[in-house]
Amino acid sequence: MNGRFLGVCLLAAALPVLAAEWRNVGPGGGGWIQSVHAGRHRVGDVFVGCDVGGFYRSADGGQSYGIQNQGLQDYWVECIVEHPDNPDVLFIAGMSGVYKSADGGRTWTWLRKGFPEIKRYSWSAPVGALVMDRENPNVLYAGIGSPRRRKWGAGAVYKSMDGGTNWSRVNGLGTLPAKTVVSGLLIDPRNREHLYLACDAGVYQSFDGGRGWKPTSTGLPHTGARRLAQCAFEPDTLYLTLWSPPGTNPWQGGVYKSTDGGTSWNVCNTGLKQSVGKPGAAGALTSNYDCVAVHPQDPDIAYVGGASWVNATVYQTIDGGKTWREIVRRHEDRNFDPGWITMWGPSVTCLSMSPLDPAILYFGTSGGVFKTMDAGANWEPVYAKRFPDGRIAGTGLEVTCLHNIMVHPTVPDRVYFGFYDIGLLISEDGGASMRRCVEGIAPQRMANSCFDMAFDPADPEHCWGAFGTWGTNIGVLAESADGGRTWKMMERNGLPEGRTRTLIAGAKPMAKRGLFCTIDGQGVFVSDDGGRFWKPANTGLRTREVRSLVRGPQNADVFWCVTGSVKGVFGGVYRSVDACETWRRVAPDLKLGDTKGLAVGGDGRTLYLAARDRNVGETPVAGGIWRSRDGGDTWTKTLVDDFAACVAVDPRDPTVVYVALSDHPYHDQCTGDGVKMSRDGGQTWVSLNSASLTCHQITTITVDSHDPDRIYVGTGGNGGFTTRITTPPR
């Protein structure tokens, strides 16, 4: 571990901790279910790994889950392996390498010794396949690459002889094609030195414990191999999935089978959908198959999951692959309940069969986990709870990400959650349950995200919402007369195309219903008629890259905004005293890079600014938290953190401030620093992280205006959390 990371770890260890008990809130599911594993020691055990949420464990067959991320350095879990004899010992692997737990997953140890040096801005040891020698569980093999992204391969297999404590690259250069992505590894149960490997360069076998490899792809039309499954009772029988390049004719994917230990392969695609999307069409319009499972005692029974939109189902064979039949039926003769997520995520991303009861199978999608107890005759969702009145609630498998959390100004327990990918959900009980409320948002893709809301001070059931797609600068505005339950689309008269990040409603001197908004890359806009017509309000701003807009609590005409850096131009802080008609830059010597948020205290003079680190031209600008006590004229840096994402102030006391800390999600150590709090205006800080806050990738933070001791935080992987701060820091 390099000195920079060690210093950060020592600083975090020395920071005082305020023991906050967090309650997880969310609708359940979401995100991307990356891996699912039915337990080998207890029938009720099922383990789930996700791309942004980490590791989840259920002891009751998926009815409830515990999020177990303590010790993880990132939340991408690709592989899950159990010890054959000790149910407390688990291994997981993902983009940052391999982790081991000796207590059933409650805590994890990062096993990095022998892998390449940890990287600051990329992945150094992404593991796409992990396998354990059941005869000698101290022996493990890890194949490098990301099967989902189909990149970051190294043509490398690592081996540990001591239970993962030490690793070394076992195969020599040239024994596998350079940069190939390993997506499957198996150990022959009859011969521990005999290994099988699937990768994007074909199928390979090793007969010397992974040191040398030879291709064994006879019978395959090309080398795009994906996953392998082997029958434990008859190890010479293997099933393989092959990836057909999207849009390429003829279709050459599906399932291949070997009955001679992988020496040769035969196509087994009768009954599988074999469609090819048109050239240039989305890859998911070409049918493909990825995850495959075979019955441990009967080599004729196998299952394969459709990984594309056009074949999003599970198929079963009972005749050794001669024919396949669809066993997840969503329409006629329906045997499948999708749960509450019906707008996206049907493709099968992972699949597992219980070794204790092969009639029990689980599969995951980009939205949920599903279970059968009768070999596919019937399927049920096991990712969330639904109430008879239509409300939904998470059961611990929370894989959602949040843009914003907003508390209704007059109804104390009504909380609005603006999610990535699932839009707006409203809770009437402080987050314990919620409903998805996007009726009327059009076109449908605009319901993907809710970025902000504003409430009419004269009638708080009258509100406005900013919706759009989080990955592109496209957005819409909508209006609601029933507190956000249903929506009516608004015209963009005067508004340029772009995503609205901030909405503020309130009286201006010249109108009863002033509305203010920011458009990404276009600046500030105001409306004097409730959003029917808009006009730009950027006079005095050096750039239009406005990241945050706030209004003074004591004077409705006073606003502040903060801009981000653009093309070598530093960001800055601006103040308006005429309701955004004109702006003046304050503290012109303050050089800002990737600014994220601005908050103002109840005194109208204390401001806090959050920013992430960024190079502006050739100048590095560190991230952190800045404070001003004079309305923005002068600033003092009060916290150094490269990934400050959001800041919030207690409305009763401007010296009580909370910060949300995140990280860039694509490198070895990217879990973020969680939540910190200061009671003295940022002079000293205390951590609010605890075991109950399972995700430290914090994206937003909100102080409840009705009960300022209660705060809500949104995460980039485990939904929302709430806690009450009742004990002062020591």
For position 279, what pLDDT does the model report? 87
290 contacts 348 by C-beta, under 8 angstroms: yes
The encoded tokens of residue 189 equal 């149960």
Q: Which of 430, 474, 423, 473 is nearest to 453 (CA)?
A: 423
Ramachandran assignment for 143, one of left (phi > 0), alpha (psi -120 to 50 degrees), beta (any other): beta
Enumerate residues 6+ apart whose C-beta is below 8 A from 340. 27, 28, 29, 384, 386, 392, 436
Model pLDDT for residues 545-596, shown as the tens digit of each residue: 999 999 999 898 999 999 999 998 999 999 999 999 999 999 999 999 999 9
**SS3 of residue 385 by DSSP:** strand
For position 537, what pLDDT does the model report? 97
Instruction: Answer whether residue 14 shows pLDDT above 80.
Output: no
Model pLDDT for residues 232-288, shown as the tens digit of each residue: 999 999 999 999 999 999 999 999 999 999 999 999 999 999 999 998 899 999 999
For position 121, what pLDDT does the model report? 87
For position 253, what pLDDT does the model report? 97
Q: Mean pLDDT across the stretch 645-661? A: 97
**SS3 of residue 3 by DSSP:** helix
Model pLDDT for residues 114-138, shown as the tens digit of each residue: 999 999 889 999 999 999 999 999 9
The encoded tokens of residue 659 equal 């910060």
What are φ and ψ of residue 4, in 5° steps? -65, -45
Instruction: Answer whether residue 722 shows pLDDT above 80.
Output: yes
**What percent of the chain clears pLDDT 70, i.e. is strictly above it?**
96
Band (pLDDT 50/70/90 cuts) for residue 31 is confident
**What percent of the chain clears pLDDT 90, i.e. is strictly above it?**
92
Question: CA distances (Å), 708 to each of 412, 652, 656, 702, 712, in order?
Answer: 11, 8, 10, 9, 10
Average pLDDT of the residues of the chain = 94
For position 470, what pLDDT does the model report? 86
Band (pLDDT 50/70/90 cuts) for residue 10 is very low
Instruction: Answer whether residue 221 shows pLDDT above 80.
Output: yes
Our measurement of the distance from residue 659's CA atom to the centroid of its chain's CA atoms, rounded to an integer in Å, reads 20
Q: Mean pLDDT across the stretch 632-641? A: 96
For position 280, what pLDDT does the model report? 87
Distance separating alpha carbons of residues 598 and 611, to the nearest angstrom: 9
- As a whole number of Å, the end-to-end CA separation of the chain is 31
The encoded tokens of residue 357 equal 């009861």
671 contacts 698 by C-beta, under 8 angstroms: no
For position 450, what pLDDT does the model report? 97
The encoded tokens of residue 133 equal 């020698």
For position 507, what pLDDT does the model report? 63
Q: How many CA atoms lie within 13 A of 249 on its CB side?
A: 6
Cα angle 214, 219, 221; round to 5: 100
Model pLDDT for residues 594-604, shown as the tens digit of each residue: 999 999 999 99
Question: CA distances (Å), 718 to each of 188, 395, 397, 403, in order?
Answer: 37, 12, 8, 13
Model pLDDT for residues 418-449, shown as the tens digit of each residue: 999 999 999 999 999 999 999 999 999 999 99
The encoded tokens of residue 423 equal 């839009």
Instruction: Answer whether residue 708 shows pLDDT above 70.
Output: yes
Band (pLDDT 50/70/90 cuts) for residue 48 is very high
Residues 392, 396, 399, 404, CA torsion sign: positive
For position 12, what pLDDT does the model report? 40
Q: Which residues pair with 660 in a beta bridge?
A: 646, 675
Q: Mean pLDDT across the stretch 326-354? A: 93
Distance separating alpha carbons of residues 259 and 266, to the nearest angstrom: 9
| DSSP codes of every residue in 21-68 | --EEES-SB-S-EEEEEE-SS-TT-EEEEESSS-EEEESSTTSS-EE-
CATH superfamily of 68-214: YVTN repeat-like/Quinoprotein amine dehydrogenase (2.130.10.10)
Band (pLDDT 50/70/90 cuts) for residue 664 is confident
Domain boundary assignment for the chain: 68-214, 224-393, 414-537
Which residue type occupies 499?
R
Band (pLDDT 50/70/90 cuts) for residue 513 is low
Fold equal for 68-214 and 224-393: yes
Per CATH, domain 224-393 is 1.20.58.1290: no
Distance separating alpha carbons of residues 118 and 129, to the nearest angstrom: 19
Give the DSSP H or E segment for 614. strand 614-616
Cα-only R_g, the chain: 27
Q: In what order do the strands lie in the sheet with 710-715?
A: 23-25, 720-724, 710-715, 698-703
